[in-house]
Amino acid sequence: MANSVSPDIGVNWHQDIFDVLVAQDISIVAHVPDAGHGPLIKMCEANSNMHTVTLTTEQDGVGLLSGAWAGGRKGVLLMQSSGVGNTINALALPNICRIPFLTIVTMRGEWGEFIPWQVPMGQGTPKVLEAMGVRVFRVEKKEEVGLTVDAAAHLAINTRQSAAVLVSQKLIGAKQFNQG
C-alpha cells in the first residue's frame, strides 16, 4: 500500500507516523534522543529497512539527510523544539540545494510546561523554521498526525523543499517534576 495511510489512523499517533515513513520509503531516521519520539524511534530501530542514527546535535541531521538524498536515500530528522535553534545555519543547505528535507518536531514550552527555558524556543520554533524557508505544519489532534506527516512528506519530496511537522505538547503530555 505505497503512499497511503492506514485506515486505523489516529489510534496511535506514533504508529501513524511510522506507517507514513514506511509508505514514503524513508530509510534513514536521524534523531537526538527525545522521550516524545521514543516509541517512534523504537519502531524505526526494529525495522530492518530503516537505519536509525543517534545524533549528538540536531544540525548534524540536516547534513546527514542531505547527503543521504544525494546518495539516493530518503530520511527524516526527529527532534525536540529546543533543538531547532541548533539547525538554523544548516537549514540553508537543503533550501539552497533544493534537497527534500523532512523533520518532525515534538514541541516543548507550551501546554503545561514546567521548565522556563523551554518556553522561548517553543514560542520561536515556527518563526525560526519559516525564516529558513521551511514549510511548517502544526498538529494538535492525534487523529491528524498521520495525515499531516503524510502531507508534509509529500510536499517535501515532490517539490524538493523543507517541511516540518510540529507535534503539539498536548499530544506528548506535559512533563512533571516531582519533588520527593
Residue 133: which CATH number? Answer: 3.40.50.970
**Is 3 a domain residue?**
no
Residue with cell 538554523: 88
Cα–Cα distance measured from residue 145 to residue 63, given in angstroms and rounded to the nearest whole number: 26
* Angle between helical axes of 38-46 and 13-23 (0-180°, round to 10): 40
Its pTM surpasses 0.85: yes
**Is 44 a domain residue?**
yes
Domain residue limits at 69: 31-172
State the pLDDT at residue 3: 40
Question: Which stretches of the chain drop beneath a pLDDT of 50?
Answer: 1-10, 179
**Is 45 a domain residue?**
yes
Q: What is the CA radius of gyration of the chain?
A: 15
State the pLDDT at residue 114: 83
Q: Which residues contact 92 (CB under 8 A, 6 or more apart)?
A: 132
What are the pLDDT digits (tens) for 33-85? Answer: 988 999 999 999 999 999 999 999 999 999 999 999 999 999 999 999 999 99
CA distances from 48 to 24, 126, 170 (A): 15, 33, 31
**Is 8 a domain residue?**
no
State the pLDDT at residue 56: 96
State the pLDDT at residue 175: 60
CB atoms inside a 10 Å sphere around CB 129: 23
State the pLDDT at residue 178: 57
**Is 178 a domain residue?**
no
**Is 12 a domain residue?**
no
Domain total in the chain: 1
